[in-house]
Amino acid sequence: MFFSREEKRVHIHVSSPDGEAKFWIEPKVELVKNYGFSERQIVELERIVKEHINEIRDAWSRHFGC
């Protein structure tokens, strides 16, 4: 998910009953914050973000009109 107008750098928030995390997408995929996910879960989430990076960028562009 995105939060409108939080910051200009492309990023995504991941939320589940296990926790919340924030990943920057540019200039590279990088974990910014983690609240509650295990290291193993973070590794899997980062893999998923990288796998869907183009979809995330496209959604960001549509959402923010970039």
The pLDDT, as a whole number, for residue 8 is 77
* Gap between the Cα atoms of 23 and 29, Å rounded: 6
> What pTM, to 2 d.p., does this model score?
0.84
Q: Is residue 1 over pLDDT 80?
A: no
pLDDT category of residue 62 using cuts at 50, 70 and 90: confident
Residues 33-60: tens digit of each pLDDT: 999 999 999 999 999 999 999 999 998 8
In a domain, 43, yes or no: yes
The pLDDT, as a whole number, for residue 15 is 93
In a domain, 2, yes or no: no
Structural domains counted in the chain: 1
In a domain, 4, yes or no: no
Rounded to an integer, what is the distance from CA 47 to the centroid of its chain?
A: 11
